[in-house]
């Protein structure tokens, strides 16, 4: 952190106020309500993440996925809701953009968790960066919940401290890849359905999603 925590927090708060002002300029009360609702969800999700980290409590798979929907998918869902709200034609408001953004958020977060354990991504972000901060990532949660409860946390987390990294067994990595492939299938199906319904294939979005594929 270059500028320190105080300056960073102050700058982030200022940007949040700027975002509120930009939404206000849309002159649509519903847009402001959407913004406030999604930001509340985002911070609620972050609070659970902080709690698990501070308490050393491993969330369940379902809990982690719900937090992804609130946090990582949150800003995407916010944009989707605003786009739909300001759509010029009523029939455009029936496009299922929000469900698509939920899946995109899930894929992006799990992909990020997975990539943090690969060599290429390590040089860019740092090996097991989330583990260094005590965070519970998708691969770690799957590994922990697959082991007997009496030693699961001690064995894996002690390994990460001693070796400055976590050697996640291959079977867990394969599970993550299968999960990502399943999500990618759902995402491409939704994009295709939306494109066929509106007679717009949206090649830019398809290319973006293709480049995210693992």
Encode pLDDT of 23-34 as tens digits. Answer: 999 999 999 999
**Tens digits of per-residue pLDDT, 94-125?**
788 899 999 999 999 999 999 887 755 455 55
From CA 204, how far away is CA 51, in angstroms rounded?
38
**Which CATH number fits the domain that encloses residue 47?**
1.10.600.10
Q: Is residue 17 domain-resident?
A: no
From CA 187, how far away is CA 107, in angstroms rounded?
9
Nearest to 118 by CA among 176, 158, 56, 184: 176
**Ranked by mean pLDDT, which of 99-113, 130-144, 199-213 comes out on top?**
99-113
The count of structural domains within the chain is 1
pLDDT at 139: 86
Domain residue limits at 58: 28-117+128-195+202-213
Q: Is residue 151 domain-resident?
A: yes
The count of C-alpha atoms lying within 13 angstroms of the C-alpha of 149, restricted to the half-sphere facing its C-beta, is: 3
Q: Is residue 108 domain-resident?
A: yes
Q: Is 92's pLDDT higher than 60?
A: yes
Q: Is residue 8 domain-resident?
A: no
Q: Is residue 157 domain-resident?
A: yes
Which helix H or strand E contains 195, and what residues bound it?
Answer: helix 170-198
Confidence band, pLDDT 50/70/90 cuts, at residue 5? confident
The count of C-alpha atoms lying within 13 angstroms of the C-alpha of 209, restricted to the half-sphere facing its C-beta, is: 24
Q: What is the DSSP letter of 117?
A: T
* Cβ contacts of 51 within 8 Å, gap of 6 or more: 57
**Tens digits of per-residue pLDDT, 145-186?**
876 564 555 565 655 545 555 555 667 788 999 999 999 999
Sign of CA dihedral 44, 45, 46, 51: positive
Q: Is residue 2 domain-resident?
A: no
* Cβ contacts of 210 within 8 Å, gap of 6 or more: none
Q: Is residue 22 domain-resident?
A: no
Q: Is residue 64 domain-resident?
A: yes
Q: What is the pTM of this model?
A: 0.81
């Amino acid at each position: 952190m270059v500028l320190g925590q105080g300056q960073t927090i102050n700058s982030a708060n200022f940007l949040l106020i700027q975002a509120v002002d930009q939404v206000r300029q849309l002159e649509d009360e519903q847009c402001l309500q959407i913004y406030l609702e999604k930001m509340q969800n985002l911070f609620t999700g972050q609070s659970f993440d902080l709690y698990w980290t501070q308490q050393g409590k491993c969330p369940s798979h379902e809990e982690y996925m719900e937090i992804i929907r609130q946090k990582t998918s949150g800003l995407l869902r916010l944009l989707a809701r605003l786009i739909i709200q300001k759509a010029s034609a009523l029939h455009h408001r029936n496009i299922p953009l929000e469900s698509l953004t939920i899946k995109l958020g899930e894929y992006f977060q799990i992909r990020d968790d997975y990539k943090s354990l690969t060599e290429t991504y390590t040089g860019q972000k740092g090996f097991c960066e989330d583990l260094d901060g005590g965070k519970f990532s998708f691969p770690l949660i799957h590994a922990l919940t697959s082991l007997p409860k009496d030693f699961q946390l001690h064995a894996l987390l002690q390994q990460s401290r001693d070796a400055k990294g976590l050697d996640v067994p291959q079977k867990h990595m394969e599970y993550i890849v299968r999960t990502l492939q399943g999500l990618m299938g759902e995402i491409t199906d939704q994009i295709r359905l939306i494109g066929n319904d509106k007679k717009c294939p949206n090649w830019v979005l398809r290319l973006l999603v293709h480049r995210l594929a693992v």
